[in-house]
Structure 1
Amino acid sequence: MHNITNGPKVIGTKQTLRALNKGIVETIYVAKDAQKQITLRAQELAQSQDVPIVFIDSMEELAKACHVEVKTATAALIKN
């Protein structure tokens, strides 16, 4: 799957934005089927910090990769 499966992570757009603002994000993951207005800010912030963005096909697939039951629009892998 993706590195998000096993590494330290935050799940959800609010947590992803918080981690990006702290400068501790290695990679962000964005579900392709999530609403743009929800994910756009995280994507822009990641791009401005040269943080790689990985697109996942669906919010359900991203949730599964993160081992959570609730669909999620974004998640982030945290630097060790």
Structure 2
Amino acid sequence: MPLAELKNAPKVIGTKQVKKAIAKGNARKVYIACDAEPHITEPIKAACLEKNIEIEMVESMEILGHTCGIDVGSAAVAIINE
């Protein structure tokens, strides 16, 4: 399961933090929830494409948040370089 790598990997959670990680060049892979609002996710997708960062789509914000160990959903999560 591709989400398994999120459990112990260094990561940032949430769209603002993911955008910062992408801009700084720290993001290795970005997970985006399919049910998140497009106006939130499209700029992240565009930034990933521009910086050549792998994108993994996840079924829901709830699953993404739960996988990261938080009690709320998350629209985006990035695995970062340490």
Give the structure-2-normalised TM-score. Answer: 0.93
Tell me which residue corresponds to 2:24.
22
Task: Give the gaps of 5 or more residues in structure 1.
Answer: none
Q: Please report how far the alpha carbon of residue 5 of structure 1 lies from its aligned counterpart in structure 2 after TM superposition.
A: 1.6
Tell me which residue corresponds to 1:31.
33
Q: Please report how far the alpha carbon of residue 8 of structure 1 lies from its aligned counterpart in structure 2 after TM superposition.
A: 0.3
Tell me which residue corresponds to 1:6.
8
Aligned positions, number: 80
Superposition RMSD on alpha carbons, in Å?
0.8
Query: Hey, which bits of structure 1, 4+ residues long, moved more than 6 A?
Result: none
Q: Please report how far the alpha carbon of residue 63 of structure 1 lies from its aligned counterpart in structure 2 after TM superposition.
A: 0.2
Equivalences for residues 1-80 of structure 1 within 5 A? 1=1, 2=3, 3-80=5-82
2: CA distance between counterparts of 1:77 and 1:70?
Answer: 18
Q: Please report how far the alpha carbon of residue 70 of structure 1 lies from its aligned counterpart in structure 2 after TM superposition.
A: 1.2
Give the structure-1-normalised TM-score. Answer: 0.95
2: CA distance between counterparts of 1:39 and 1:56?
Answer: 12
Where 1:60 maps in the other structure, the secondary structure is helix
Q: Please report how far the alpha carbon of residue 25 of structure 1 lies from its aligned counterpart in structure 2 after TM superposition.
A: 0.4
Where 1:15 maps in the other structure, the secondary structure is helix
